[in-house]
Chains A and B, each alone.
Chain A
Amino acid sequence: MATLDGFRDKDFLEQITVLNEIAGSRDPELLPALIDLFETPTGDTGVDYMVVGALNAVLGSSEQAVVGGLTSASLPLRTLCIRTAGEYAFASAAAPLAHMAKTDADPDLLIEILASLAKIRPAGAESVFRSFLTHEDSMLAAMAMEMAGVYKDPLALPALMDALRAASQGDHVERCDLTTWKAIDALAAIASPASIAFLVEHVHHKNPTVRRIITDALVRLGEAALPYIEPVYAAGTTDDRILACNIAGFIGARKGADALVRAFDSRLFTDSNVRYAAFEALGRIGTLKGLVCLVDGLEESDELILMAVVTGLERHAAPGVLKTISERIAAGTPNSPRICRAIIASRALRLFQELYKDDLVGDHLIDALRLSQDQEILDAFSQRLMEIGSARARADAATLPRAKAATRKALAVDDSKSMLALYRRILTDLGFETLLASNGQEAYAYVESGEFADVVITDMNMPVMDGIELVGKLRGSLGYDDTPIIMVTTESENSQRDVASKIGVTAFVTKPFKPEELKAALAQLLGD
């Protein structure tokens, strides 16, 4: 049986062994001695930390002691008891805690009290939390709002609505306060007709963060929110309608798609941005009615809308749909090339692969692809053509152009300004975004600040930090274990190449060099 007799005279190992045993046995007999240790600490942080752990464990087996401790004159013990009461959800602590919530004034302690009460979650405690909804301490108010949601407290609605209303006025628009976020989440958790309607009404809030939180909350509500969303298609502003379409799309329920189709049929979506959002939503949901509506969307002349239509159809490429798209492209109307461009721009690879089977349609698609300036898109379709693997597909892949874009980064390090200028020109020619540093330390600072380079070119001898030290540091940095590193050396430095190789240099270039030589070395290393 563990005992705390003579505890302070024991050595560290004995002390922690005893405390560990007590934390396991949770013997309430030891409570007075533990409390004494807690209130008059040993001074050894490790031991004192374990005393708290052991006391917490023993208190956990003694509800009565915890409730008694809530009125302790010692603030640390009181705080510990408040926390323990919550951790073990001691029901008999609820009444004293509720009383303390009314009488205590210290916000730090009040947070502890409310957090503890929240974990016990006694019936009827919603009034305690409700009284903190408008507390000047945001943290307390936020916690009260969370609990209003947990209790689904209808009487909290006016305060929650006021909090959201206040957020649309004056200075508050710039920032989304913590309490605004919590008020929105609580309104969604209460999920009464009044609270959902209120959220929908504020969906186009001026503050983008608030807007997103409301959108997310409505999406989480799912089908329950849909009856309140549909009226917005007819009555809302353009922005409201767009957001309503987005929300319906993210909810992804059949009912949502049906409502969107109804709105199309009633010609409510006259604005092209709203139509874009509506098609996008239909594409996300993907019901049969929705697909029919999307196929109608192929008549749209706006390329962006066509992209939304094509993206939706790509997700649900059914044989009937493919046949219609194929016919539209083959018809040679003014919209045919637009549809092709939309398929390419939205990277609809599945549609492409199926439509490519028809020679004429395939040719139209390849024509559209050749106009693309985006290397990623060209690569993606080129790869798909190779996967199709027919002689025709391979031939088409071979005719695709290459786009030029600075998608790669290079880090050049040299203490000579003119060398840096030269590196910059060469690297930019090759489509690199270039970072320049005049010594190893400057170069390493880029890496430390999170920059990543696809290739590093460094001089060997530099002040402050030389090339070899830099390479050693780079090889020890996350993400740089196999980045190509080219070291530029003079003839006289060639003897040090062995050291440099061992430390991780990938290739060497000897100064002076022609730009073509460096370009060739880069191309070889990067597999260009």
Chain B
Amino acid sequence: MDVELAKPFVKAAMDVIGTMAFITPRPGKPFVKKNTIATGDVTGLVGLTGDGKKGSVSISFQKGCAVAMVKNMLGDDIQDILQDVKDAVGEITNMISGQARAGLAEKGLVLQGSTPTVIMGDNHSITHIAKSPIMAIPFETDAGNFTIEFCFE
């Protein structure tokens, strides 16, 4: 049941981004995607396996949102904005993956998460390896939008 699996990731994303980056995301209406083009400029991607299933979760940020997170996390101590954005998105993705998987483990669903991969580039494309539709949950923040994409089969 993919909704049951996706929900903890959405909740974890709100928790982590709220706690670490002091940004309160407002979730929008979940939708289903046909293409694999991420609607953002920086993407953190984690592969998941376990319970005889496999899937991936990605979080794609618009530039403004990613930069705002880094500024909130590091203050004025930004050395190299590209590298810092990359690190921050990787770290946040990792925390979200960890927190969500801990919640799922409470239901006996133990998933292994890969180390996050961070992809940067305007309107880049990411490929979820899945035949089933990809679930996307859009979020708005004052600094820009981000989208969580989820597929599991």
Contacts and interface: CB of A to CB of B under 8 A. Distances in A.
Interface of A: 49, 52-53, 56, 79-80, 83-84, 86-87, 108, 111, 115, 118, 138-139, 142-143, 146, 175-178, 180-182, 208-209, 212-213, 448-450
Nearest to B4: A115
A111 to B, nearest CB: 5
B107 interface: yes
Chain A CB within 10 Å — which of B7, B107, B121, B135 has the most?
Answer: B107
B4 A177 contact: no
> Top 4 A-B pairs ranked by shortest CB distance?
A178-B30, A87-B108, A449-B121, A115-B4
Interface string B102-122: 100111100000000001110
B120 A178 contact: no
B120 A56 contact: no
Contacts of B10: 139
Contact of B31 (A56, A83, A176): A176
Q: State the main secondary structure of chain B at its contact with A.
A: mixed
B72 to A, nearest CB: 23
Contact of A146 (B3, B30, B102): B3
B7 A209 contact: no
Given A178-B32, A181-B133, A450-B119, A56 B1 contact: no
B124 A449 contact: yes
Chain B CB within 10 Å — which of A79, A176, A180 has the most?
Answer: A176
Contacts of B6: 139
Nearest to A49: B102
A139 B30 contact: yes
17 contacts: A52-B105, A79-B106, A83-B106, A108-B11, A115-B1, A118-B1, A142-B3, A143-B4, A176-B32, A176-B33, A177-B32, A178-B29, A180-B32, A209-B32, A209-B33, A212-B34, A449-B124
Contacts of A209: 32-34, 133
Interface residues of B, number: 24
Chain B CB within 10 Å — which of A79, A118, A139, A182 has the most?
Answer: A139
Contact of A143 (B1, B31, B121): B1
B30 A177 contact: yes
B42 to A, nearest CB: 11
Contact of A449 (B3, B29, B105, B120): B120
Interface of B: 1, 3-4, 6-7, 10-11, 29-34, 102, 105-108, 119-121, 124, 133, 135
Contacts of A176: 31-34, 133
Contacts of B34: 176, 208-209, 212
A181 B29 contact: no
A449 B4 CA distance: 32
Contacts of B3: 111, 139, 142-143, 146, 178, 182
B30 A138 contact: yes
Contacts of A177: 29-32
Given A87-B107, A176-B32, A178-B29, 15 more contacts: A49-B102, A52-B105, A52-B106, A83-B107, A118-B4, A139-B30, A143-B1, A143-B3, A176-B31, A176-B133, A180-B32, A181-B133, A209-B33, A213-B32, A213-B133
